[in-house]
């Protein structure tokens, strides 16, 4: 049970005195929480091929915003035009969203009173999905290096996008917004 795993990690985290190590444990708890939430949604739907995406992403983003204590008033811009996805798609998708939003909450709004976290999802599993995930914060310090992962979080984003057969791009403009696009099942079969 993933709730037990979270409890064990939190128990171990209570023994840690170093703030950096504590942050790493907290990130681990958030990743496990993202997976546990998918499992919770599968129990509610009773159908591994059709899990309610709106409910899952609303819970995930709300839980992440509560997990990080920041002084910024946040607006959540969540637009989900995909009713259901399979568990095999939703787990890596949820983990990608978890990583991007976690990074936004940790870094994007330093010194800002207000900010926007966005998650937009369109398409479907058969024709392909198009996602925009990110924030209107201060942006990456070095936009030229975003595609060469040097942190576990960035490595996870690229690895999980690979599991989804997706491309990852950093959108131009203010803030940090990732555009992730999966290819259709027909194109996957031809490849």
pLDDT single digits (tens) 6-44: 677 777 878 888 888 877 777 777 777 776 776 676 666
- The band of 144, judged by pLDDT with boundaries at 50, 70 and 90, is low
Q: Over 70: is that where the pLDDT of 176 sits?
A: yes
Query: Does some domain include residue 158?
Result: yes
Number of domains in the chain: 1
- How many CA within 13 A on the CB side of residue 80? 16
Q: E strands, 38-135, where? A: 51-52, 73-80, 84-85, 114-124, 128-135
- The band of 80, judged by pLDDT with boundaries at 50, 70 and 90, is very high
Query: Does some domain include residue 33?
Result: no
Q: What is the DSSP letter of 133?
A: E
Query: Does some domain include residue 35?
Result: no
Q: Between the CA of residue 44 and those of 39, 50, 61, 105, 154, what are the distances in Å?
A: 9, 11, 19, 29, 31
What CATH number is given to the structural domain containing 87?
A: 3.30.565.10
Whole-number average pLDDT of the chain: 84
Q: Over 70: is that where the pLDDT of 146 sits?
A: no
User: pLDDT tens, 50-62?
Assistant: 888 998 888 888 8
Task: Look at residue 158 and give its three-state secondary structure.
Answer: helix
* Domain of residue 133, residue span: 48-190
More confident of the two residues 75 and 190? 75
Query: Does some domain include residue 8?
Result: no
| Six token digits for residue 27 | 């990130």
């Amino acid at each position: 049970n993933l709730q037990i795993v979270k409890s064990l990690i939190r128990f171990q985290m209570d023994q840690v005195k170093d703030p950096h190590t504590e942050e790493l444990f907290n990130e681990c708890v958030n990743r496990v929480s993202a997976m546990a939430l998918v499992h919770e949604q599968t129990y509610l739907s009773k159908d591994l091929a059709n899990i309610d995406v709106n409910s899952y992403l609303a819970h995930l983003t709300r839980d992440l915003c509560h997990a990080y204590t920041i002084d910024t008033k946040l607006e959540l811009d969540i637009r989900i035009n995909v009713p259901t996805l399979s568990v095999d798609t939703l787990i890596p998708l949820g983990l990608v969203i978890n990583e991007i939003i976690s990074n936004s909450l940790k870094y994007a709004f330093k010194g800002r009173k207000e900010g926007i976290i966005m998650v937009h999802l369109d398409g479907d599993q058969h024709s392909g999905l198009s996602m925009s995930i990110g924030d209107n914060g201060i942006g990456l310090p070095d936009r030229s290096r975003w595609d060469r992962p040097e942190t576990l979080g960035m490595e996870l984003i690229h690895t999980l996008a690979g599991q989804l057969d997706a491309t990852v791009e950093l959108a131009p403009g203010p803030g940090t917004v990732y555009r992730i696009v999966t290819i259709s099942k027909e194109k996957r079969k031809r490849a």
